[in-house]
Structures are given as structure tokens and as C-alpha cells.
Amino acid sequence: MSAVGGVTAPGAAAPGAAAPRLAALHAEWTKLRTLPGTFALLVAVAALTIAVSAATAAAYDCRAGAGCLAAATGADPAKISLTGLDVGQVLVAVLAVLAVGGEYGTGMIRVTFTAMPRRLFVLTSKAAVVTGLTLASSLVAVLGSVLAGRLLLPARGLSAANGYTLLSLADGADLRATLGSVLYLTLIALLALGVTAAVRDSGVAIGIVLGLLFLFPILAAFVPGRTLARHLEQASPLIAGQYIEATTGLRSLPLTPWQGLGVLALWAAGALLIGGLVLRLRDA
């Protein structure tokens, strides 16, 4: 290829034409990688999640007395250590929204679809790239949070002396909570991706995603009827999804941890489905 054109002779294979999937993936990776905010956001996801988790663990204070025993407080070391996810998920959603919505904001989307007319390839490639980046960032965020909890909590009263089991990745429930939380953040990203593909505007999309996440907890808390509140909790992507963080009191949860994460997965799948359909059927 000369520096002049980039025009390929007819018949010669365009780069990646044999593997359009790979080419689309590479294109999306390049676009996301070269956005100025992407890596700042990824770092912020990890840093803020760990900071909020550590601050929450440090704020816990119930060191001595019968009221501080594990049976009395019902406190869950894993859940406390993973509080930062509440903030981390916002940034993850922003990242995913920008991956799609940024193109609509600048009109780049028309170029993208001209170059890659198979729009679902574009969406799946975006999903794959965002998934990969979110997985990496959330793994750091979650492992850092768990480590902070492991180091801080015993001194604040969640100690073996008070009857708590210390956080450990060798423990089945703790490992499930840790890996599940990474999946949780990733599913939030996919949910945001699907919503943005459907509404085509970053501002509206992030509003819908955050509304979807935060409205259910408010409603469930302030609806006085217990049955209705329980159903709202079961349907909430945030509440049900975060059941995956729980390691104690699993019997009192309306769903098992994996079922809860499944609820979030259903929301994400639904959003991606609608986003994909809209993308395919509608004008860009």
C-alpha cells in the first residue's frame, strides 16, 4: 500500500475481508483505544471501586460486645468489601455508553456502517471489546476491594474472634462473590451497550441505565407491602444482581446468588436484543 491511496486493486483482498469479524473487532478496538477518555475511565473504575470499598470497610466499627457477634449483626464481610461496586458500575456504564453513543454524537456511525454494512457485526464487536476491557478493569477493582476488606475488616470487628469467617479466595462462597462481582460489572456494561444502541443518544442512554439501576432499590424500600417489595427486588438488575456478593444469610434472599446474577443477565440480553434489532431495522 502506498501512502498516497489506500486504494486496493479490484480482486485483491482488502485487509480483513476474509475475516470481517476480526476486522470489525480490530476497528472497534482501535476506535475505543484511541478515545481520550477510555483509559482514564478504566483506571477510574478500579480506583474508585477500591477506594469506596476500603472507605466503607474502614467505616465499619463494632469491635466488642455481644451485639458485634456475627450472629447478632448479620454483617457480611464480602458484601461490605464490595460496596464500591455501587460507584464502579456507574463508570462502567458510562464507558459502555460512550463506546456506542460517542459515534452517534459525532456522526462517525455513518462512516462505520459504510465501512461495515453488517451492523450486527459492529454491535457484537463493540460488545466484545467493551466486555474485554470491563473484565480486565473490574477484575482489578474487585480483587483490590476484596484485598482491602481482608486487610481492614478484622481490625474493625469483623474478626474471627467475633465469629466471622475471614475473606479468602479459597473459600467457595467468597470466590463466587469475587468472580460473580466481576461478571456483574461486565453485565452492567453490556446492558448499557444495548440501551445505547437502542436510543442512539449518550445522555438519554446513561439516564435510562442509571434510572433502571437505582429506581428499583428506591421503590422496593419505600413500598410498604412486603410482597410487592420482594417482587421489585427480584426484578431489579441492581439488587438481584448484587445477590452474587452475598456470603451470609443466603436463605433470606428471595433468589439464589446465581439466579440473581441471571436476572441481570436477562436484562442485559434483553437490552442487547432490542439494541441489535433497532440497529438492524432503523436508519443510522
Partner 1 sequence: MTAIAPYRCAARRANDGFGRLLHAEWTKFRTVRGWVVAILLAPLLIVAVAFLQRSECGIGNPLPNGTTFNSACPASPIGPGGEAVTDSFYFAHQAVSGNGSITARITSLTGVYPAHGGHMAAAANPLAGYQPGVQPWAKAGIMISASTAQGSAYAAMLVTGTHGTRMQWDYTGDAAGRPGAASATAPRWLRITRSGDTVLGYDSPDGTHWTLVKTVSVPGLPATAQVGLFTTSPSYQVIKTSFGGSSGTGGQTLATGRFDNVRVAWAGAGTTWTGTSVGAQGTGPAGVRSGPPGPDPFKGKFTQAAGAYTVSGAGDIAPDVPEAADGNGMSAQNALIGTVVGLIAVIIVAALFMTAEYRRGLVRLTFAASPRRGRVLAAKAVVIGLVTFVAGLAGAVIALPLGIRQLRDGGNYVLPMSALTEARMLAGVAAVLAVAAVLALALGTLARRGVTAVTVVIVVIFLPFLLGTLQGLLPLGAQEWLLRLTPAAAFAVIQVVPAYHQVLAPYSAANGYFPLSWWAGFGVLCLWAAGALTAAAYLLRRRDV
Shortest Cβ distance from residue 217 to partner 1 (Å)? Answer: 6
214 binds partner 1 (CB under 8 A): yes
Q: What is the dihedral of CA 128, 131, 134, 140, to 10 degrees?
A: -110
Residue closer to partner 1, measured from CB, 92 or 140: 92
59 binds partner 1 (CB under 8 A): yes
Shortest Cβ distance from residue 154 to partner 1 (Å)? Answer: 15
225 binds partner 1 (CB under 8 A): yes
Shortest Cβ distance from residue 18 to partner 1 (Å)? Answer: 36
Q: What is the dihedral of CA 197, 120, 90, 51, to 10 degrees?
A: -160
Query: Are the beta carbons of 185 and 89 closer than 8 angstroms?
Result: yes
Q: Which of 217, 231, 248, 254 binds partner 1 (CB under 8 A)?
A: 217
Contact positions with partner 1 (CB under 8 A) in 173-202: 201-202
Distance CA 263, CA 12 (A): 48
Nearest to 275 by CA among 188, 199, 205, 187: 199
For the CA atoms of the chain, what is the radius of gyration?
22
- Written as one string, the DSSP assignment of 218-240 is HHHHH---HHHHHHHHHH-HHHH
Distance CA 189, CA 237 (A): 12
259 binds partner 1 (CB under 8 A): no
Contact positions with partner 1 (CB under 8 A) in 23-52: none
161 binds partner 1 (CB under 8 A): no
75 binds partner 1 (CB under 8 A): yes
Task: Give me 82's grid cell.
Answer: 464490595
Residue closer to partner 1, measured from CB, 65 or 117: 65
Query: Are the beta carbons of 79 and 180 closer than 8 angstroms?
Result: no
Residue closer to partner 1, measured from CB, 80 or 148: 80
117 binds partner 1 (CB under 8 A): no
159 binds partner 1 (CB under 8 A): no
CB atoms within 10 A of CB 159: 16
Residues that bind partner 1 (CB under 8 A): 56, 59-62, 67, 72-75, 80, 83, 86, 90, 94, 97-98, 101, 105, 201-207, 210-211, 214-215, 217-219, 221-226, 228
